[in-house]
Chains A and B, each alone.
Chain A
Amino acid sequence: MIQYLQTLGAQTRASFTKLGRATLFLLAVLSGIHSVVPRPKLLLNQLYSVGVLSFLIITISGLFVGMVLGLQGYYTLSDFGAEESLGVMVATSLVRELGPVVSALLFAGRAGSALTAEIGLMKATEQLSGMEMMAIDPLKRIIAPRFLAGLLSLPLLSALFSAVGIIGGELVGSGLLGLDEGAYWSQMQAKLDFQGDIVNGIIKSIAFAFVTTWIALFEGYDAIPTSEGVSRATTRTVVNSAFSILGLDFILTALMFGDH
């Protein structure tokens, strides 16, 4: 029992010191981020590997999620004779919740894990120390552009996810189930609120982008510099990102949509 408490204590302490390191890391990255401005090429390269390469998985997933929403929504709504509201239902679900959340989860799996592995391996092969000894700060040269790229990419990918999903819902609704196309779009336009739905969705995806990219970069930078250490760090990135995204989503949803 004592031993159990001791382990628990040690683990708690370890998590807190890690949180402290992560915070210091974040502050250092944020204070170095201005150095990316005069080097747009660094940012473009990262936007490509972080953002553009996640394009396909986001588009395809968005399409299928939208199609499923279309089907399920249609079955439920038709019980109440409210099929015309399918457009609103699909769009609000996507813009408020599924778009930001699912694309962030996919992003953590596709881009976050790759970032952790890349940074971790650079550490394991002494590339980061090598850079420090060349008087080049890896936080500015390597981490900051990746952080910015993640922060910019995910909101755009979330928007893409929602847009493709809405089209997917429409394809199912009017193509497969014979719903009136005009009703799908006009109801959506009438009911979807710019401030309440779209802006809040964007805020969510920015928050997820911040947290996911932070976790991915920190786990790589903090990894034990061996192959096993890097592989564990990669796993932790995906797991911790998923928890943070879902937990944060709950909090943000409560704050944003609480008074509806």
Chain B
Amino acid sequence: MDNNPQPSNSLVSVRNLSFSRGDKKIFDDISLDFERGKITAIMGPSGTGKTTLLRLIGGQLSPDQGSIWVDGQNVHHLRRHELYTLRKRMGMLFQSGALLTDMTVFDNVAFPLREHTHLSESMIRTLVLMKLQAVGLRGARHLMPNELSGGMARRIALARAIALDPMMIMYDEPFTGQDPISMGALAHLIKSLNNTLGLTSIIVSHDVHETSLIADYIYMISESRIVGHGTPEAMRQSNSAWVEQFMTGAADGPVHFHYPAKDYIDDLLSSGKRY
């Protein structure tokens, strides 16, 4: 049953994936391919399940139906130690950074190296400083995570994610909380990491402008389905109402700003109920 459906040029493939949280259907039979060596973006309104998708790919959540393949392996059929071996080759940048709060920036970046390798401390120092230099925060190495801003924390987390030289990185909202200068620098960094290290990158982002500058391919997800995909160029020219609304940021269109709810006036008038 584990015959690999992956096209040879994709590193990650999602096949007919369905996933629900309680009664809420997050994904309904979606399929995506992430090509090797390319930057693929996942875009979509807040709450559509972009973070959930990354967690499914990383094997932290299991699909209700369908399968996810990473480098020829079915993520959810792996044994625990096989999954852990695979994860060493997958970097993930969490939306919150997820730095370990009881150690310094330096030790955070050194953490995966110390856990997974037997490198000498001087070697680790060199590697950590290189990674920190890449994200522009070598000078912040003595700080504790609570002394960092949100944007800085995310860049440190990026340095940590690339510490083990993974084959792919999943970025969850790398651009939020960055000022325009570091946003540009970060986009450049993601691009150059991808090209120089031959990584495969998956970016989850709201930031249409910055993302379409660096992405090779874009998937748009809304209301549990893929509503559009293509190169940034093709997406800009798309005449799909979904895609157009998202690319231009219009408030009106098929994508709703509101979480599904009953009629507003009815809701206000139905007094006596607590919720």
Residues of chain A having any CB pair with chain B under 8 Å:
122, 125-127, 129-137, 141
Contacts and interface: CB of A to CB of B under 8 A. Distances in A.
Contacts of B85: 135
Contacts of B112: 134-136
Interface string B97-133: 0111100000000011001100000000000000000
Given A126-B94, A126-B96, A129-B98, A134 B115 contact: yes
A129 B94 contact: yes
B81 to A, nearest CB: 10
A125 B60 contact: no
B90 A133 contact: yes
Contacts of B98: 125-127, 129-130
Nearest to B54: A133
Contact of B84 (A122, A126, A129, A137): A137
A141 B87 CA distance: 16
Contacts of A129: 55, 60, 94, 98
Contacts of B94: 126, 129-130, 133
B92 interface: yes
B58 interface: yes
Closest 3 CB pairs of A and B: A130-B98, A135-B87, A126-B98
Q: Is the interface of A mostly helix, strand, loop or mixed?
A: helix
B87 A134 contact: yes
Given A129-B94, A130-B98, A135-B88, A141 B115 contact: yes
A133 B101 CA distance: 17
Contacts of A137: 84
Contact of B111 (A122, A125, A133, A134): A134
Given A129-B55, A135-B87, A135-B88, 18 more contacts: A125-B101, A126-B94, A126-B98, A127-B101, A129-B60, A129-B94, A130-B99, A132-B58, A132-B87, A133-B58, A133-B90, A133-B94, A134-B88, A134-B112, A135-B84, A135-B112, A135-B116, A136-B115
B100 A127 contact: yes
Interface residues of B, number: 22
A134 B60 CA distance: 12
18 contacts: A126-B94, A126-B96, A126-B98, A127-B100, A129-B55, A130-B92, A130-B99, A130-B157, A133-B60, A134-B88, A134-B112, A134-B115, A134-B160, A135-B84, A135-B112, A136-B111, A136-B115, A137-B84
Nearest to B160: A134
A126 B100 CA distance: 9
Contacts of B90: 133
Nearest to A121: B101
A106 to B, nearest CB: 24
Contacts of B96: 125-126
Given A126-B98, A127-B101, A141-B115, A133 B88 contact: no
A135 B111 CA distance: 11
Interface string B45-63: 0000000000100101000
Contacts of A136: 111-112, 115-116
Contacts of A130: 92, 94, 98-100, 157
Nearest to A132: B60
Contacts of B111: 134, 136
Contacts of B116: 135-136
A245 B98 CA distance: 35
A127 B112 CA distance: 13
Contacts of B160: 134
Nearest to B98: A130
A117 B142 CA distance: 26
Contacts of A134: 87-88, 111-112, 115, 160, 164
Nearest to B84: A135
A24 B163 CA distance: 33
A150 to B, nearest CB: 18
Contacts of A127: 98-101
B103 to A, nearest CB: 11
